[in-house]
Amino acid sequence: ASMMIERSIEAGVPFRWVAADSVYGVGDVERTLRRAGIGYVLGVKGNHWFGSWATEPLIAGEAKDIAAGLPDQAWRRLSAGHGTKGERLYDWAYLPLADLDAEEFDCPIAGPWTRGLLIRRNIADGDLAYFTTWSPKGTTTQELVNVEGTRWRIEEGFETAKNEFGLDHNETRSWHGWHRHVSLVMLAYAVMASVRYQANSLKPKKTQLRTRQSLSAGPFRRSGASS
């Protein structure tokens, strides 16, 4: 994951945030993103240790223990984006842990950045998920929630690529073969997504639509003919 991020930065791909679940780890990824001046919301396990400084009160311990000690007023119900069944609502708690100046970690974007802990609680069963965050100071909880919510769109994109374009329909036995297949499929998916977006955004003006309708119906009205 860290190598992919570095390649994207070197290629000049424009992006401000990275979101990931806990399978990718955080050490190298965090370091790479901080030095590049890119914010992140990265999933961690419940036993991940967090510590704060210059905060009141001080926070220290594993993520699951910190969550267990939070008062009711620390939680806010927010949407992580629109899903197939409506808004994806969860209870969220955000704890800023420390502010660091960009100069302290060679960040190209000047100013203070905030390291924090974001916790998501499922409304139905109380299941918890934990995220380490890095963002410009003043970033709202809702913006961090929006970043975390983008992972669903990414997962839905992969699901569509599998079902409609055959992303997982290959029997390659080499990295080169796999890479070429995936690249071709994702390129086709990107082209079709662009075509769909443009088609949906080119809606005729009402006046143009009325004009076309009147022109198509006009000759029959004038002549009294029917078909």
Per residue of the chain (227 residues), what is the pLDDT tens digit? 888 899 999 999 999 999 998 887 788 899 889 888 999 999 999 999 999 887 777 889 999 999 999 999 999 999 998 877 788 999 999 999 999 888 777 778 888 999 999 999 999 999 999 999 999 999 999 999 999 999 888 888 899 999 999 999 988 889 999 999 999 999 999 999 999 999 988 766 665 555 556 555 554 444 444 43
Domain count for the chain: 1
Residue 194 lies in a domain: no
Range of the domain at 17: 1-46+55-159
Tell me how far apart the alpha carbons of residues 74 and 116 are, in angstroms, rounded to a whole number.
14
Tell me how far apart the alpha carbons of residues 153 and 149 are, in angstroms, rounded to a whole number.
8
Query: Residue 183, exposed/middle/buried by CB under 10 A (0-12, 13-18, 19+)?
Result: exposed
Residue 219 lies in a domain: no
Locate all alpha helices (DSSP H) within the chain, ordered by sequence.
Answer: 2-10, 27-36, 63-68, 141-165, 175-201, 206-223
DSSP secondary structure letter of residue 30: H
Residue 1 lies in a domain: yes
**With a threshold of 0.85, does the pTM exceed it?**
no
Question: Within a 13 Å sphere around the CA of 224, how many CA atoms are in the beta-carbon half?
Answer: 0
Residue 72 lies in a domain: yes
Residue 169 lies in a domain: no
Residue 20 lies in a domain: yes
Residue 87 lies in a domain: yes
Residue 125 lies in a domain: yes
